[in-house]
Amino acid sequence: MRTRGWIALAAGLALCLVAAYGAYTLANYSWNQVVDYRGPYAAAQLPAGEAPSPHMLVYGRQPLMVYVIIDGLREDVSRMMPTLNTLRAHGFDAVVRTFQPSLSFPNWTTLLSGAPQRISGVTTNWFTERVPVETLIDTALADDRTIVVSAPTDFEMLFGVERTGNVFLRDWTKGEYMTGGIVDNAIRLSAEASSTLLVVHFPDVDEAGHAFGGASKQYRDTALRVDRDLSRLVAALEGPQTTFVVTSDHGHIDTGGHGGPEDIVTKVPAVFAGPDVKPGTGEGTQDQVAPTVALLADLPAPRNATGMPLDLTAQARSGADRFTAQQVAAFGAYTAAVAGSPAKPNTKLLTAKGARAAFDEATVARLTRERAARLPMALALAIVCLLAIVVVGVLSWRALLSALSGTAAYYLVYEGLFFVVHGYRWSLSSFNSEEFLKPFLNGRMTDAIIAGVVAAFVAAVVYLFTRRQPQRAKGEFLSGWLALGVATVLVVQATIGLQVAWYLWYWGASVTWFIPDLAMGFKYDLDLIQITGLGAAAVLAPVVTWLVGRYHPVRRSSGPAAGPGDGAAVPAKPLVPVGSGSAAEE
């Protein structure tokens, strides 16, 4: 019996460590799949957008489009900004929802191209290439517009704005207010170049959100300071043929951070004011902002855009059907990329709504096929997890009962630390900014180790109450008590593994053409991190169960005595004197 206990200990520990290593490897792979995602859509061959009628001089100059992105501005805080509220009162007040993940580089790309993350392939702020989708910068250059850009240097890396010839770029500098200089140079360059498109980016609100949180006084004060600089920009450039578009790329949670699906992060302001804008309010999605700018500025529609312009023009615009043509062409190519073949002829495809519906149908059909293909693998993983639990029960039902009790304690402690103590959610917003990603993940691994140790303690205590007279963890009963700690951790890993198996069936580990629900994806990565941390807990757990088994108070009983992890009776032994004693095999 002693040999069987040591074999169970060694085998269980090996399984726990193998599971931890496999989870760590899979977590890295899956995370990198999202980071490195490019998708098949940006490479689609699409016709160039058509420009409307030639631009006419009005009051001695061409119309001016001023496009302002206030980084990290929450929708609720935007309503405290006097200048922005003045533009709202004279224009169209929209709230648009961002796509996932709600990070700066991906959302800047959407705001300038109308292409969300799934289409653009820009999914993180670690993207270091020229975006592969057409932007308003590209269409304006192709249409011989005079463009001015005043923004952070990242705009050159992503959008190649120096091609415009009228550019002010500066690096992000923590602790330094940047918007004032950006506005000064925007006004100067616009006057010098007689621009027809001015793109301006204000970074300071986002910096305040990361530093102090979206609900802080410092964040609101920074928004008001930025609003005063916005007022200077409006005063310098307003006129009968000037249109202002002011929007945000994302918001901030109260404690600071973004990237996740929270409403406070993903619902952002989009304000339009100008001669062709009718007063009103509305809702939409972030991919509609760039097409709306193109409509108001008489620019060709960005060919990769997935959104139609918002309904905000004061009168019918000539050539507005060019956006329908762009949508039909784009979604036709995207549907072909998903289905692997050109879309079948369908009269509905001649409308933007029909083309989008065909794309959605192709997406659902492919997801269904892939889930069917992944089902055997997911079931195999689930069966392995269930077998691990069953084997513990076969070796000792008392050990299984104790391990399940410890598992319940694990979830209570881990989820309590995650949701209550730390106040986290299944969201990329939880770790505030990219520099805190590794500390955040290491912290969750530490939480898993702590919860795993608590689980082993609870399992050992519960086991004591399953015996009339449990014996101490020494001698022939030592291996059983040690194995109980490992068995508890193994059962915890197995229950988490069942959740991983579901995710791998539903979404898969690879991200090649579709970005999964990132709230579930975040939970999946945290599940893998927990399994990894539990590998360390499996080493510590036997020490915990040994301590409980070695030093628990002895209880006298007339019944047989036993220790954990065994299955056969042993000859009766004399009662152990109070204060000493040992556990016996079942």
Which of 342-346, 405-409, 439-443 is least confident?
342-346
Per residue in 183-226, pLDDT (tens digit) is: 999 999 999 999 999 999 999 999 999 999 999 999 999 999 99
Question: In angstroms, what CA-CA distances link 274 with 88, 194, 293, 295?
Answer: 11, 18, 11, 12
The pLDDT score that the predictor gives to residue 157 is 97
The model's confidence at residue 476, banded by pLDDT at 50, 70 and 90, is confident
Cα dihedral 28, 31, 36, 41 in deg (nearest 10): 140
The pLDDT score that the predictor gives to residue 574 is 36
Question: What mean pLDDT comes out for the span 267-293?
Answer: 97
The pLDDT score that the predictor gives to residue 470 is 85
For the chain, domains (ranges, CATH) are 2-36+375-551 (no CATH), 64-297 (3.40.720.10)
How far is Cα 69 from Cα 439, in angstroms, rounded to an integer? 30
8 Å CB contact between 549 and 473:
yes
The pLDDT score that the predictor gives to residue 49 is 79
Pairing of strands 267-273, 92-97: antiparallel
pLDDT at 582 over 70: no
pLDDT at 344 over 90: no
Q: What is the 3-state secondary structure (H, E, C) of 179-208?
A: HHHHHHHHHHHHHHHCCCEEEEEECHHHHH
Per residue in 482-513, pLDDT (tens digit) is: 999 999 999 999 999 999 999 999 999 999 99
How far is Cα 307 from Cα 290, in angstroms, rounded to an integer? 8
The model's confidence at residue 62, banded by pLDDT at 50, 70 and 90, is confident
Per residue in 287-305, pLDDT (tens digit) is: 999 999 999 999 999 999 9
The pLDDT score that the predictor gives to residue 568 is 40
| Helix ranges (DSSP H) in 340-470 | 352-395, 397-415, 437-464
pLDDT at 339 over 80: yes
The model's confidence at residue 318, banded by pLDDT at 50, 70 and 90, is low
SS3 (DSSP) at 53: coil
The pLDDT score that the predictor gives to residue 234 is 98
Q: Which of 44-53, 454-463, 545-554 has maximum average pLDDT?
A: 454-463
The pLDDT score that the predictor gives to residue 284 is 98
pLDDT at 53 over 70: no
Strands, E, within 72-175: which ranges?
A: 92-97, 147-152, 167-170
Mean pLDDT, the chain, rounded, equals: 91
pLDDT at 558 over 90: no
Question: What mean pLDDT comes out for the span 543-551?
Answer: 94
pLDDT at 445 over 50: yes
Question: What mean pLDDT comes out for the span 530-556?
Answer: 90
The pLDDT score that the predictor gives to residue 575 is 31
How far is Cα 531 from Cα 23, in angstroms, rounded to an integer? 6
pLDDT at 96 over 60: yes
Percent of residues, the chain, with pLDDT higher than 70: 90
The model's confidence at residue 569, banded by pLDDT at 50, 70 and 90, is very low
Per residue in 382-424, pLDDT (tens digit) is: 999 999 999 999 999 999 999 999 999 999 999 999 999 999 9
Q: Is the pTM of this model over 0.85?
A: yes
